[in-house]
Amino acid sequence: MVDLLKNKNIGKWGIGVLVVSALGWWGVSYSSAKANSAAVAAEAPVVSLNVAETVEVSGSLEAQPSAALTWNTDGVVEEVYVQAGDDVKEGDVLMKLRTTSVSSNIISAQADLVSARDELDDLLNSDTDLAQAVIDLKDAQEAYGKADDYLHYLQKSRKVPQTQTKIIIESKRNSWRYLYKTKTFKGPAPEDWIIEAENDLALKTAELEEAQRTYDRFKDGPNVQDVIAAQARVDAAQVTVDSLSIIAPFDGEVLSVDNHVGDVVSAGELSANIANLDHLYVATQVDESDIANLKLGNQVEATLDALPGVTLTGKVTAINPVGKVESGLVKYAVRIDWDKVADDMFLPLGSTVNAAIQVREASEMPAVPITAIQNDSNGEYVWVVQADGSTVRVDIVSGSIVGDLVTVTGDLEAGERVQLVRESSVNASNPFND
């Protein structure tokens, strides 16, 4: 997963922007030639822009689920049943090794599987209800044991791993932001954890008692241990036999096939890649200065470096409220799920996705040229030109950058004119120059 920050084009002032429309125009008219080198050289009108605030992130395009399938034993490929682009179902055999090329224990496992299945069938067919009762009872016993062990652990242990997150609201320049501080520690389990574990144990106890009563009604059937042992032999033989083949673990599309008939392969060697392309996502990170603006369900648009002109749409589906410090910055994991695309669209997994998360809907805002904004110890300001040619200082707070314009908040209206400063003055005092 690629490490990402919001796209800040100009220091701390920049944020991602989607410009829907510009409702005004701006131009530059030069003032008297008598102005000296420190004086204002030009002026421009305040315009109105329809702007949506976004947070810019990027990451790698991923699919869920996806898997790189590898061989479980050495051998020679006998059959390849699929090619890249084929749709497969869970359990489908994609490739198979030649039986005579694998170890003898795999060959003998095929016979063992047939024998074990016959034995289990004989037991189960004698009393199907009892067999199911045996399985249900075994599952209930295991679930009860785990719930009981967990409750005792919470009640007895004085070193239960826990995390505690504090949210601090910080005021800065007439705005607010949330800071998250997380502490990891070990100690006695919280009371609500213990209550929840007690309730779960009570549920598992009731389920175990019901399974025991059901089993007792059929206990005159086959021996429980015989059924369990027979099922274990079937499972063990099946695992060994399956090592002959590459089997799809879920429904999806074959992305690549790395083997051909006759290839000599080794255990652990890649055979194929498979993914479910109906569920695409990006896992990214957002800086702490932006995380408070994000919400679940925020709409997202994105482009891919590998496919210019293709636009993905989706929404934020997960925000981890616990940040991690990386390179001195606190970042928060965010997941974006993409809307389903056309079946015939090629989307290369792992390619870079550049996304804009919309955190505020488009609204009308005044905007001025970047070169109109100045900065001193009291903050940002512009000089507004009055009708008689005099100027008045107006304090502002800059926002989104749209080309050569910056949206601002302050006592400004579209149509008013502001002074622009010379390039030398911009280099000296303009806060947008890094």
| pLDDT confidence bin for 24, thresholds 50/70/90 | very low
Q: What does the pLDDT read at residue 5?
A: 31
Residue 81 contacts residue 252 (beta carbons within 8 Å) = no
Q: Are residues 336 and 398 in the same domain?
A: no
Q: Are residues 300 and 365 in the same domain?
A: no
| pLDDT confidence bin for 259, thresholds 50/70/90 | very high
The tokens describing 173, both together, are 């320049």
Q: What does the pLDDT read at residue 426?
A: 44
Last residue of a domain, one of 358, 391, 418: 358
Range with the lowest mean pLDDT among 13-22, 276-285, 356-365?
13-22
The distance between the two most distant Cα atoms of the chain, rounded to a whole number of Å, is 112
Q: Are residues 199 and 338 in the same domain?
A: no
Q: Are residues 311 and 194 in the same domain?
A: no
Q: Are residues 157 and 28 in the same domain?
A: no
What is the domain count for the chain? Answer: 3
Q: Are residues 113 and 233 in the same domain?
A: yes
In a domain, 289, yes or no: yes
Q: What is the CATH number of the domain that holds 18?
A: 2.40.420.20
Q: Are residues 286 and 320 in the same domain?
A: yes
**How far is the C-alpha of 432 from the C-alpha of 434, rounded, in Å?**
6
**Tens digits of residue pLDDT in 70-84:** 998 899 999 999 999
Give the mean pLDDT of 327-354.
89
Q: Are residues 191 and 97 in the same domain?
A: yes
Last residue of a domain, one of 297, 328, 358: 358
**Tens digits of residue pLDDT in 212-245:** 988 887 776 666 787 788 889 888 888 888 888 9
What is the reported pTM? 0.50
Q: What does the pLDDT read at residue 228?
A: 86
Give the mean pLDDT of 313-326.
93
Count of Cβ atoms closer than 10 Å to residue 173 Cβ? 7
Range with the lowest mean pLDDT among 281-295, 380-394, 398-412, 417-431?
417-431
Last residue of a domain, one of 250, 272, 294: 272
Which helix (H) or strand (E) element contains residue 319?
strand 307-319
Range with the lowest mean pLDDT among 115-124, 149-158, 343-352?
115-124
Q: What does the pLDDT read at residue 3?
A: 35
Q: What is the CATH number of the domain that holds 349?
A: 2.40.30.170
Q: Which domain holds residue 423?
A: 11-57+361-429
**Tens digits of residue pLDDT in 32-73:** 333 343 444 599 999 998 877 788 899 999 998 999 999 988
Q: Are residues 316 and 399 in the same domain?
A: no
Q: Are residues 158 and 246 in the same domain?
A: yes
3-state SS, one letter per residue, for 18-83: EEEEECCCCCCEECCCCCCCCCCCEEEECEEEEEEEEEEEEEECEECCEEEEECCCCEEEEEECCC
**How far is the C-alpha of 97 from the C-alpha of 99, rounded, in Å?**
6
Question: Can you tell me whether residue 209 is helix, strand or coil?
Answer: helix
Q: Are residues 149 and 266 in the same domain?
A: yes
What single string gives the DSSP state of each residue in 287-312?
EHHHHTT--TT-EEEEEETTEEEEEE
Beta-ladder partners of 172: 175
Long-range contacts of 206-213 (CB under 8 A, 24+ apart): 207/140, 207/143, 207/144, 208/137, 208/140, 208/141, 208/143, 208/144, 210/140, 211/133, 211/136, 211/137, 211/139, 211/140, 211/141, 212/137, 212/140
Q: Are residues 389 and 302 in the same domain?
A: no
In a domain, 47, yes or no: yes
| Amino acid type, 45 | P
Q: What does the pLDDT read at residue 18?
A: 30
